[in-house]
Chains A and B, each alone.
Chain A
Amino acid sequence: MSEKPLLDIKNLRVTFPTRQGEFEAVRGVSFTLGRERLGIVGESGSGKSMTGRAILRLIRPPGRVEADRLELEGIDLLSLDEKAMQKIRGQRISMVMQDPKFSLNPVMNIGDQIMEIYRFHTGASKKAAYEKATEMLEAVSIRDPERVMRAYPHEMSGGMGQRIMIAMMLVTEPEILIADEPTSALDVSVQTQVLSIIDRLVRERGMGLIFISHDLNLVSAFCDRILIMYAGRIVEVCEAARLNEATHPYTRGLLGSLPRLDEPRKRLSVLQRDADWRETESVSGRQ
């Protein structure tokens, strides 16, 4: 791809000091993100969520984020001070998290929560923010947005909560959306709906999407490109369409452990882990 990437990451590391010494949650991850849908797949503890949070510099001390390069359209994110970083967060890079039950503020009504981010970044009037917020709620297929604006998060179902979260995170029209397991906490029946809303908005606005999930199937159906992470490293990078050609034993193992309708098996294979995977160098996802 010759187009200049939105996000350029080289050798990203996230470290936490513990009593037993330093723990590296992310150990040298490199990739770029264009105006595409990039999936990051891995089991829990593989460092996929940490990668997402590190991009927004949301790792709290004593945790540390280091990288040879962490750039958003040429801006070095690691050298920005906290104030400049606040302008990036929410404005240019947003994130949707797993469970709207916990990720929305329970004692603020929904309208205030959406208007807060919009007004903070644009300085818009209350009235303009209100209109923009209702408009955004409509864009995520919420009927009667006026009433939802006045409601509190606990009055919403999971699917609605997540759509509200998406509306809130996209109201400032950021260039990149990080979706961290956005559908794992939802009922299967509303998962597709939420996914298609994300898909539509990302396409319409020409955004870059980082889709973090443990669900290889979902990611391969939804994304353009997939990074497979294991123990803080990228073990394999491949086009979603050519996932079947993946070569790394971990990826093959993940594929093999999925039940398939077209190839019914008596027993699903159990993933055998190899200590070597942990030690081999990270594969680069840079293009």
Chain B
Amino acid sequence: MAVAENNGTGRRASPRFLKVLVKILKTLGSVLITMLGLMFVTFLIGRVMPVDPVLSVVGERAGKDVYDAAYRAMGLDKPILVQFGYYLWDVLHGDFGISLLNARPVAEDIKRVFPATMELATLGTFFGVFIGVPLGVVAAVKRGSWIDQVARVVALVGYSMPIFWLGLMGLLIFYGILGWVGGPGRLDIFYEDLIPTRTGMVLVDSLLAGDWTVFKNALSHIILPASILGYYAMAYISRMTRSFMLEQLSAEYITTARVKGLPERTVIWRHAFGNIKVQLITVIALSYANLLEGAVLTETIFSWPGIGQYITTALLSADMNAVLGGTVVVGLIFVLLNIFSDLLYQVFDPRAK
């Protein structure tokens, strides 16, 4: 009997690999469709735009023949699906068109502004993870205690506060009144262009250049917007951590760990927490994606030259290529983060069969 069972486990090893492969392929397939749909939606939004794309290229005073030529050159006489094909082709080649505002390729603009957003969102996520995870674990372990209540209130307030308003209040208090942090922007004006741009992230670039004064100045500017984004990440991460932990702590294997005589710290961190790690990575990836979105409003407040500010400025000047380019890029990152966490699940969770 034991022999038969042992063979059973042996047989499962290779199909498991195959199953994972099939799952990964399936995920990739559905992601591809999602991305296509995403681009189709942005394409359609661009088409219902009340702004005439031809006029914005040829100018108001162009003659009828010039206009018609441009109209055909832009493929606007073709059926909508064909037009979508052109659009897709361009996007796949990294071409989001020309910004109407500054006449530069949108793709280049995005490449330039994106590191600023990444810097902000990454630091924010760090805050969120390093405070949110322990807070969630403690809240679950000491369910109903004062610390659980505090965690609950902190999260509720986070869910209820407009992020742009919190940013303004932060500026008012910590910059205006207390003067503890740098104001809007990434650097004080006289520090700008002192260091070479390598990654586009000022904190990293100043470190690479070994320039501590610039680094300190950059830090004083980023700390407030990053903390504010981090607060939202923390609210989300701590709630999710708490509910994951509650689920695990009531599981039978936790009783087993206690029966084994293990100290409570080991029971909680090695056994219960060990079981939520992969789920938690998914949550962190999602929260990172949410921060990219939160950055849209935060960047406006802090004059942070990232993709959020890029999209909103473009919006207000009806620069549709820039808006759609930005939307597609943020959407793609969203989707990529989703697959990333999904794949992590498949690969690292021994239970994913």
Cα separation A213 to B12 with both chains bound (whole Å): 33
Interface of B toward A, CB cutoff 8 Å: 1-3, 5-6, 8-10, 12, 251-253, 255-264, 266, 271, 274-275, 277, 349-351, 353
CB pair B255 A117 closer than 8 Å: no
CB pair B9 A102 closer than 8 Å: no
12 examples of A-B residue contacts, CB within 8 angstroms = A83-B263, A89-B258, A95-B259, A97-B255, A102-B253, A105-B256, A105-B274, A106-B275, A106-B350, A107-B277, A117-B260, A120-B262
Q: Tell me which residues from 105 to 119 in chain A have a Cβ below 8 Å from any Cβ of chain B.
A: 105-109, 116-117
Cα separation A50 to B178 with both chains bound (whole Å): 58
- Among B264, B266, B351, which residue has its beta carbon within 8 angstroms of that of A107? B351
Shortest Cβ distance from B249 into A: residue = A60
Cα separation A106 to B278 with both chains bound (whole Å): 13
With contacts A58-B259, A90-B261 taken as known, whether A107 is within 8 angstroms of B349 at the C-beta atoms is: yes
Query: Among the interface residues B5, B259, B271, which one has the most CB atoms of the partner chain A within 10 A?
Result: B259
- Among B5, B10, B260, which residue has its beta carbon within 8 angstroms of that of A159? B5
CB pair B351 A154 closer than 8 Å: yes
- Among A53, A103, A142, which residue has its beta carbon within 8 angstroms of that of B256? A103
Query: Among the interface residues B256, B257, B266, B353, which one has the most CB atoms of the partner chain A within 10 A?
Result: B256
Cα separation A109 to B1 with both chains bound (whole Å): 22
CB pair B259 A105 closer than 8 Å: no
- Among B5, B258, B259, B349, which residue has its beta carbon within 8 angstroms of that of A160? B5
Question: Mask for A125-153, Cβ within 8 A of B = 1, else 0?
Answer: 00000000000000001111001100110
A27 to chain B, nearest CB (A): 23
With contacts A108-B274, A143-B2 taken as known, whether A103 is within 8 angstroms of B258 at the C-beta atoms is: no
The SS class assigned to the B binding surface is helix
Cα separation A143 to B351 with both chains bound (whole Å): 23
Residues on the B chain within 8 Å of A98, using CB: 252
B146 to chain A, nearest CB (A): 16
Residue A56 is within 8 A (CB to CB) of chain B in the complex? yes
CB pair B259 A90 closer than 8 Å: yes
Residues on the B chain within 8 Å of A15, using CB: none
Residues on the B chain within 8 Å of A109, using CB: 350
- Among A58, A87, A189, which residue has its beta carbon within 8 angstroms of that of B255? A58
A57 to chain B, nearest CB (A): 9
A-B pairs, top 7 by smallest CB distance, nearest first, are A90-B261, A89-B261, A102-B252, A90-B260, A117-B260, A152-B350, A86-B261
A142 to chain B, nearest CB (A): 6
B250 to chain A, nearest CB (A): 10
Question: Mask for A12-47, Cβ within 8 A of B = 1, else 0?
Answer: 000000000000000000000000000000000000
Cα separation A160 to B5 with both chains bound (whole Å): 8
Chain A interface, number of residues (Cβ within 8 angstroms): 48
Cα separation A121 to B252 with both chains bound (whole Å): 21
Residue A156 is within 8 A (CB to CB) of chain B in the complex? yes
Residues on the B chain within 8 Å of A142, using CB: 2, 6
Cα separation A108 to B8 with both chains bound (whole Å): 20
Shortest Cβ distance from B144 into A: residue = A62
CB pair B252 A151 closer than 8 Å: no
CB pair B349 A157 closer than 8 Å: no
CB pair A104 B258 closer than 8 Å: no
CB pair A105 B3 closer than 8 Å: no
- Among B253, B261, B263, which residue has its beta carbon within 8 angstroms of that of A104? B253
- Among B8, B256, B264, B271, which residue has its beta carbon within 8 angstroms of that of A157? B8
B209 to chain A, nearest CB (A): 43
CB pair B252 A103 closer than 8 Å: yes
Q: Tell me which residues from 157 to 211 in chain A have a Cβ below 8 Å from any Cβ of chain B.
A: 157, 159-160, 165, 168-169, 189-190, 193
Cα separation A155 to B351 with both chains bound (whole Å): 9
- Among A116, A120, A155, which residue has its beta carbon within 8 angstroms of that of B9? A155
CB pair B9 A105 closer than 8 Å: no
CB pair A56 B5 closer than 8 Å: no
CB pair B2 A105 closer than 8 Å: no
Residues on the A chain within 8 Å of B255, using CB: 53, 58, 97, 103
Residue A88 is within 8 A (CB to CB) of chain B in the complex? yes
Shortest Cβ distance from A108 into B: residue = B274
Residues on the B chain within 8 Å of A160, using CB: 2, 5
Cα separation A56 to B271 with both chains bound (whole Å): 19
Shortest Cβ distance from A91 into B: residue = B261
Cα separation A168 to B261 with both chains bound (whole Å): 12
- Among B1, B251, B252, B271, which residue has its beta carbon within 8 angstroms of that of A190? B1
- Among B3, B8, B259, B275, which residue has its beta carbon within 8 angstroms of that of A89? B259
Residues on the A chain within 8 Å of B274, using CB: 105, 107-108
B248 to chain A, nearest CB (A): 10
With contacts A97-B252, A142-B2 taken as known, whether A154 is within 8 angstroms of B259 at the C-beta atoms is: no
With contacts A97-B255, A106-B351 taken as known, whether A87 is within 8 angstroms of B2 at the C-beta atoms is: no
Shortest Cβ distance from A102 into B: residue = B252
Cα separation A221 to B119 with both chains bound (whole Å): 69
Residues on the B chain within 8 Å of A116, using CB: 260, 262
Shortest Cβ distance from A152 into B: residue = B350
Residue A94 is within 8 A (CB to CB) of chain B in the complex? yes
With contacts A107-B275, A157-B8 taken as known, whether A87 is within 8 angstroms of B351 at the C-beta atoms is: no
With contacts A105-B271, A141-B2 taken as known, whether A169 is within 8 angstroms of B353 at the C-beta atoms is: no
